[in-house]
Amino acid sequence: MTAYITGIALFALAILISVSLHEFGHMLTAKAFGMKVTRYFVGFGPTLWSFRKGETEYGVKGVPLGGFVKIVGMTPLEEEEEELDEKDQKRVFWRKPLWQRTVVLAAGSVTHFVLGFLVLWILVAFVGIGVNPAYAQAAETGQEDVAVEVAPCVATSDPATGTAGDCADGQVEGPAAAAGIENGDEITAIAGAAVADWDGLLAAVGELTPGEPVAVTVDRDGTERTVEVTPYAAEVENADGTVEEVARLGVFVYVDPAIPYTAEGAGPVSGIGETFTYTGDMFKETFIALGQLPSKIPPLWDSIWGAERADDTPVSVVGASRLGGEMVQYDQWAMFFMLLVVLNYFIGVFNLLPLLPMDGGHIAIAWYERFRSWVAAKRGRPDPGRVDYLKLMPLTYAVIVVLGGFMLLTITADIVNPITIFN
C-alpha cells in the first residue's frame, strides 16, 4: 500500500510539473520576443510564497492544480496595459507580430510534446518498451480477446509471506506465472465460466477468493489447457477510504508483437527513429480518441451507477494518478513513464483545439483577426481591429461548463469505479 500511495503522489507531482513547464514555455517565448510578463505562478488560490525578479513575480499558490503566466495584453479584457509607460506599450502581447504571438500561444503544447518525446526517447533508447497496456488498448489490440502478460512477481497484502526466486522483499511469484501461464496466452474460462473479453476477465477475477485455487483455461496457439491458479490477496482502497483484500491472478493486458516495440534499449541514435515512430502512432490514436470522446460519456456515466467500467473510457488526473500508483506498486516503471508520455501528448493536442479558453482558441482568434484585416484592406475598408472578447464570453463559459462537467464525471467514475490494470 505504501508503494501504491507513493506512486499516486509521484504521478500527481509529474502532472503538476508538466503543467508548470507548459506555462514556463509561454513565459520563456514571451520574454524572448520582448513581451512584458508580470507573473508566473505554480498553482491557484492564495499565494504561499513568491519573489520578484526584474518585472516578473514568481511564486507558488495554495491549490496545486496547475499554474498560470500573466502576459500583458493577451486579451482585450485586460486593463493592466493602460498603466504602462510609452516604452512598455510597445511590449504588450497584441502589438507583437502574428507569428510571434502564435509561437508564444503554441509554446505550452510544444513543451508537452518535447517533454513527452524526451521521456519516450529515454525509454526506447536506454530502457526498452515491453509492457504497455495503455498503448496496446489505444492501438486496439487487446480488447476482443484476453491475451495476457504475466507478472513474474506480485506484491501481497502480507509481507510476511516471504519472497520467491528473484522477487523483492514483500513479493511472491505471480500465481499465473507459477501455474505455467505464459505471455500471450489467452484466458478463455475461469472456474468453468467462459471469458469473452478483458472486461469479462475483470469481472470473473473480482468474484474469486484470495487463497482458494481456481481452474483457469488458457488457449496457447489454438490448444486449450486448464491449470490450477491460487489467487493472491491484494489491497484495494474503496471510494470511502476503506481498504479491502481482493483476489488477483498476476496478469495484465498483453501487448501484441505486431505493434513495434523494443524489448531492450535501442541505443541513443537508433532510438530517435523509433521514438518518432511511436510518437506518430500516439498522435494518430490521440486524434481517434478525441473523435470518440462523446461516445464514451454514456458508458462512463453508467459505470458510476454500477455498470462495469470499460478500460477504454476516459480517465481524469485522479484516475491517471491511481494507475500510476498501481504501476509503481508492481514495479512497472516503464509503464509509469509511458503513461506520462501519453498524457503529455494528449494534453498538448487537446490544448490546441480552436476553442476558448484553450490556447488553440487564442491562436484561431489571432489568425482570424489577421484574415479579417486582410479582407478589409482588399475591399478598401478600415481595419476592423481586434475581436471583441466580450461577445465570445458566452461561448467561452459554455466550453468551461462542458469541460468542468466532464472533469467532474471522470473524477467521480475514477473514485467510485476506477480502472485497474493488474488482476
Supply the DSSP string of 344-358, one letter for each residue.
HHHHHHHTTSS-TTS
Q: Which of 150, 155, 131, 129 is nearest to 141 (CA)?
A: 131
Residue 153 pLDDT level (bands cut at 50, 70, 90): confident
For the packed helices 270-304 and 333-350, what is the interaxial angle rounded to 10 degrees? 80
Q: How many CB atoms lie within 10 A of CB 330?
A: 25
pLDDT band, residue 308 (cuts 50/70/90): confident
Give the separation between CA 235 and CA 242, rounded to whole angstroms. Answer: 10
pLDDT tens sequence across 166-178: 576 667 788 888 8
pLDDT one-digit tens code per residue, 99-111: 999 999 999 999 9
Alpha carbons 35 and 73: distance in angstroms, whole number: 9
Mean pLDDT, rounded, for 49-69: 90
**Of 260, 17, 226, 249, which Cα lies nearest the Cα of 119?**
17
Position 329 scores a pLDDT of 81
Q: Is residue 23 annotated as part of the catalytic site, yes or no?
A: yes
Q: What is the pLDDT of residue 21?
A: 94
Least confident of 87-101, 184-198, 231-245, 295-309: 231-245
pTM of the predicted model as reported, rounded to 2 decimal places:
0.69
* Pairing outcome for strands 186-190 and 214-220: antiparallel
CA distance 43 to 397: 21
Cα separation, 418 vs 233, whole angstroms = 18
pLDDT of residue 97: 92
Candidates 359, 361, 357, 362; CA nearest to 400 is 357
- With a cut of 70, say whether residue 156 has pLDDT above it: no
Residue matched to cell numbers 513543451: 111
- CA 186 – CA 6 distance, rounded (Å): 32
pLDDT at 256 over 80: no
Give the mean pLDDT of 25-33: 95
Quickly tell me which residue has 472486461 as its cell: 199
Confidence of residue 374 (pLDDT cuts 50, 70, 90): very high
Helical (H) or strand (E) element with 253:
strand 251-253
- When pLDDT is cut at 50, 70 and 90, the band that residue 132 belongs to is very low
CB 124 within 8 A of CB 337: no
Catalytic residue from among 23, 149, 173, 369: 23
Cis-peptide into 357, omega within 30 deg: yes
Q: List CB contacts of 207: < 8 A, sequence separation 6 or more.
A: none
Residue with cell 493592466: 80
Q: What is the β-pairing status of strands 251-253 and 243-248?
A: unpaired
Using alpha carbons, list the distances in angstroms from residue 310 to 137, 290, 302, 325, 366. 11, 17, 10, 19, 40
Contact 202, 308 (CB under 8 A): yes
More confident residue, 261 or 343: 343
Provide mean pLDDT across the span 273-281. Answer: 89
pLDDT of residue 134: 39
Q: Calculate helix-pair angle for 333-350, 2-32, nearest 10 degrees.
A: 40
CB atoms closer than 10 angstroms to residue 386: 14
What band does 163 get if pLDDT is binned at 50, 70 and 90?
A: very low
Using a pLDDT cut of 90, give the percent of the chain over it.
30
Instruction: Find the angle CA(397)-CA(400)-CA(403) to the nearest 5 degrees.
Output: 150
E strand or H helix at 7: helix 2-32
| Averaged pLDDT score across all residues of the chain | 83
Residue type, 121: W
Task: Give pLDDT, residue 145.
Answer: 63
Tell me the domains of the chain and their CATH numbers.
Answer: 1-36+72-139+267-423 (no CATH), 142-254 (2.30.42.10)
Side chain identity at residue 7, one-letter code: G
Residue that is written with C-alpha cell 471583441 in the block: 388
